[in-house]
């Protein structure tokens, strides 16, 4: 970046024109911007200020005087009958931005203070690609991009793929019209954008060439529209909202902008329901604030509001100034993307042991707040974006979403710069919190701490999992109490739960004697459990309830399980290499074994068996699949499931042709209907008990 203080106005203006032309080419032509909109706006405004102070420096080809764009090779040029001009951008995101626009309009119309407030039509400023749709005799005959405002690109082949866009207008008036050009924005919904990027990542991972992920929905939409292959466009869902007209021949124009959009809607053209007619500066400010409160919940991106004088006759009277209409203005919101420097890359350990790289940033104001940290998601994403310490990056923050780094501004990368990010090397293979080994399973993107029960970053999650109903079932031990116990230092690891005393519990905020006594009773009652429940409660990765039961049946006691090698673990029903390695990694950590031993010393116990030898006895329900539905008279859903599995049966959550029996209680619903439809045997509780070895 040049030293602006030592640069003459002429030299600086030339630098700005060159930069703006370069960035506009990447934005409009390549659909691959290097900087966020906010940075472009700042450069644009700086050039405007220089040209205003030094009119002799204003050139005919200045970006401030024309719309920038070009036609891609392979797309036919389309000359617009009515130019597609841009509108003035008001970057003052405060209410003053709306008030300035109202003041300019009233001055241009020579209205004094006694004149009533003007009627404005306020609309969302969609973050997409401007398109001109030409209908002749009601039929869609051409779709074109804005291009440079005078000449755009023929993208009829891709725009026709937009499912919500009418290929033929409704109404006799539209069918009789020689031409109606509808102008609007093609955009991509946020959910469609996320789905598209997910598909792109899978293609990239599979080795597909020439594929990439997209920085934001706008770039994705523009890239789809300007595809030469309509087949690819058909696979990438787009949306469209109309906001105005181009050439019109043979169709009567309404009197106002609001009536115009209503008329387009009657013709079958998609129109946003969020627009409104408001009065005066106060109405504009109120609308801007109402949409700001809803912005993050919208299904698509917007970066501001567009204000238009509502009466079309007044629009014509106000006319245009250079490249912009005097009767319209875009009022921006705080930018959701900004550029800043990466000072360092830190590693955070989540509640489940997931290791997340986080960029430590030069503080930057983005999305309405100052941001100094931004997630990099995982090592693969950090490498894909090639984020390195010292880089200038684009940071995005929308609403309450965690700020993220979406890309690197490579043209600002310092030389030399460090090596590509390597999480394992940075941590020397150890968790930054507890020094346990970090692991990443084949096919997964996340590194994880193997510390589990021992790692302080994971202790709250470990305690909640251990205490849940399907594990040790410790009544009264919920999220808020776990937060108190850990934050106060009373509980650091699972065995500490069984060292709690009445006095220390009652010292906690909002903890009465009755609640404390009940918790201690719940802890005491949890000491008598089953091997399977205890094993599941340890929270070993990939060991769910069913796997815990299979392991408990196979090994009979925990000492044999902890000593088992990978090959022995693979002998267990439904235990594959991933589960076996996860078990071995867990029990290879001395601190995890220590937690198990301390829990046993605290009094936790369960019936033990000889394991495989007992399991070899034939089970009456072996090979049979059951589905439970409704409420049984005496058995809970968990009890029924445990008894079926103890007898060798399998319990599934859905009815299919592979289901052997459906056990139905009161208020049985769709599962019972499906069973009857497929002719599957339906049992009540009594019939189920009759099939069990110990009814």
pLDDT tens readout for residues 435-449? 999 999 877 889 999
What is the C-alpha separation between 482 and 637, in angstroms, rounded? 27
Q: E strands along 107-178, which residues?
A: 119-126, 129-136, 139-145, 151-153
Q: What would the pLDDT profile of 126-182 be if each residue is shown by its tens digit?
A: 988 999 999 999 999 999 999 888 999 999 988 988 888 999 999 999 999 999 999
Domains annotated on the chain, with CATH: 4-65 (1.10.287.610), 119-279+300-329 (3.30.470.30), 337-427 (2.40.50.140), 450-617 (1.10.150.20), 625-691 (3.40.50.10190)
**What is the mean predicted confidence (pLDDT) over 498-525?**
93
Helices of type H across 152-279: 156-159, 172-176, 190-205, 217-225, 230-234, 257-266
Give the residue-averaged pLDDT of 311-324.
Answer: 91
Rounded average pLDDT over 571-599: 90
Tens digits of per-residue pLDDT, 553-573?
999 999 999 999 998 999 898
Q: Within 13 Å, how many C-alpha atoms sit on residue 41's CB side?
A: 19
Distance separating alpha carbons of residues 402 and 124, to the nearest angstrom = 24
The span from the CA of 595 to the CA of 536, in Å, is: 14
Residues 6+ apart with CB under 8 A from 459: 453, 486, 491, 492, 493
Range in 169-173, 423-427, 439-443, 483-487 the model is least confident about: 439-443
- Are 395 and 216 within 8 A, CB to CB? no
C-alpha atoms less than 13 angstroms from C-alpha of 300 in its C-beta half-sphere? 22
pLDDT at 2 over 80: no
Quick check: 93 pLDDT over 60? yes
Q: How confident is the model at residue 392 (pLDDT cuts 50, 70, 90)?
A: very high
- 73-84: average pLDDT: 86
pLDDT reported for residue 616: 47
> Percentage of the chain with pLDDT > 90?
56
624 is annotated as an active-site residue: no
Of the listed ranges 179-183, 406-410, 450-454, the one predicted with least confidence:
450-454
* Predicted structure pTM score: 0.55
* Residue 53 binned pLDDT confidence (cut-offs 50, 70, 90): confident
DSSP code of residue 335: P
Question: What's the mean pLDDT in 199-223?
Answer: 81
pLDDT above 50 (res 495): yes
Burial environment of residue 494 by CB neighbours within 10 A (0 to 12, 13 to 18, 19 or more): buried
Comparing 235-239, 458-462, 505-509, the range with the smallest average pLDDT is: 235-239
Percentage of the chain modeled with pLDDT above 70: 94
Residue carrying the six token digits 């309830």: 545
As a whole number, mean pLDDT of residues 16-36 equals 73
- Residue (of 185, 191, 192, 270) closest to 235 by Cα position: 192
Q: What integer best gives the mean pLDDT of the chain?
A: 88
Pairing of strands 392-396, 404-408: antiparallel
Residue 137, SS3?
coil
**pLDDT of the residue at 4:** 47
d(CA 437, CA 431): 6
**Of 100, 107, 125, 553, catalytic:** 125
């Amino acid at each position: 970046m040049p030293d602006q203080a030592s640069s003459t106005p002429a030299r600086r203006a030339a630098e700005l024109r060159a930069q703006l032309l370069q960035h506009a080419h990447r934005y409009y032509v390549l659909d691959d911007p290097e900087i966020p909109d906010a940075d472009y706006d700042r450069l644009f405004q700086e050039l405007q200020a220089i040209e205003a102070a030094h009119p002799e420096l204003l050139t005919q080809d200045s970006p401030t005087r024309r719309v920038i764009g070009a036609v891609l090779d392979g797309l036919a040029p389309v000359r617009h009958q009515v130019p597609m001009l841009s509108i003035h951008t008001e970057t003052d995101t405060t209410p003053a931005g709306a008030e300035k626009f109202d003041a300019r309009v009233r001055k241009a119309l020579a209205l004094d203070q006694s004149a009533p407030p003007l009627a404005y039509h306020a609309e969302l400023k969609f973050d997409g690609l401007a398109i001109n749709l030409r209908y002749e005799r009601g039929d869609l005959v051409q779709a074109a991009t804005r291009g440079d405002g005078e000449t755009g690109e023929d993208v009829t082949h891709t725009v026709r793929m937009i499912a919500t866009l009418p290929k033929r207008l409704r109404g006799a008036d539209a069918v009789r019209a020689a031409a109606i050009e509808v102008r609007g924005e093609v955009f991509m919904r946020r959910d469609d954008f996320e789905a598209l990027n997910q598909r792109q990542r899978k293609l990239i991972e599979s080795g597909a060439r020439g594929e990439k992920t997209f920085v934001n929905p706008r770039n994705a939409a523009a890239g789809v529209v300007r595809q030469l292959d309509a087949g690819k466009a058909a696979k990438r869902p787009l949306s469209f909202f109309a906001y105005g007209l181009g050439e019109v021949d043979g169709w009567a124009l309404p009197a106002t902008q609001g009536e115009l959009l209503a008329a387009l809607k009657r013709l079958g053209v998609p129109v946003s329901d969020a627009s409104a007619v408001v009065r005066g500066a106060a109405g504009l400010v109120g609308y801007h604030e109402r949409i700001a409160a809803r912005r993050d919940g919208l299904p698509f991106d917007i970066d501001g509001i567009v204000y238009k004088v509502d009466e079309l006759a007044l629009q014509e009277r106000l006319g245009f100034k250079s490249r912009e209409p005097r009767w319209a203005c875009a009022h921006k919101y705080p930018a959701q993307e900004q550029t800043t420097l990466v000072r360092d890359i830190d590693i955070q350990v989540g509640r489940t042991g997931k290791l997340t790289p986080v960029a430590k940033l030069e503080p930057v104001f983005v999305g309405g707040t100052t941001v100094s940290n931004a997630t990099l998601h995982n090592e693969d994403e950090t490498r894909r974006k090639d984020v390195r310490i010292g880089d200038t990056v684009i940071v995005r923050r929308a609403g309450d979403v965690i700020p993220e780094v979406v890309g690197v501004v490579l043209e600002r990368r310092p030389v030399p710069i460090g090596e590509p990010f390597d999480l394992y090397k940075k941590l020397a293979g150890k968790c930054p919190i507890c020094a346990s080994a970090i692991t990443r399973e084949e096919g997964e993107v996340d590194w994880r701490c193997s510390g589990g029960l021992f790692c302080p970053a994971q202790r709250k999650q470990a305690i909640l999992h251990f205490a849940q109903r399907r594990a040790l079932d410790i009544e009264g031990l919920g999220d808020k109490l776990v937060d108190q116990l850990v934050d106060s230092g009373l509980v650091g690891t699972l065995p500490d739960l069984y060292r709690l005393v009445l006095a220390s519990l009652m010292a906690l905020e909002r903890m009465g004697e009755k609640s404390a006594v009940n918790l201690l009773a719940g802890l005491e009652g949890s000491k008598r459990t089953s091997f399977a429940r205890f094993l599941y409660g340890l929270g070993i990765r990939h060991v769910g309830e069913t796997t815990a039961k299979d392991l408990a049946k196979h090994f009979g006691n925990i000492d044999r399980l902890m000593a088992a090698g990978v090959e022995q673990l693979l002998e267990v029903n439904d235990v594959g290499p991933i589960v076996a390695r996860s078990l071995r990694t867990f029990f290879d950590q001395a601190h995890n074994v220590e937690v198990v031993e301390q829990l046993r010393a605290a009094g936790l116990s369960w019936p033990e068996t000889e394991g495989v030898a007992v399991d070899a006895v034939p089970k009456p329900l072996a090979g049979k699949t059951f589905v439970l539905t409704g409420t049984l008279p005496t058995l809970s859903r968990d009890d029924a499931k445990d008894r079926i599995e103890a007898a060798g049966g399998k319990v599934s959550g859905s009815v299919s042709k592979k289901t052997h029996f459906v056990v139905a209680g009161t208020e049985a619903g769709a599962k019972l209907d499906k069973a009857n439809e497929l002719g599957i045997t339906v049992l009540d509780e009594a019939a189920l008990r009759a099939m069990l070895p110990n009814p």
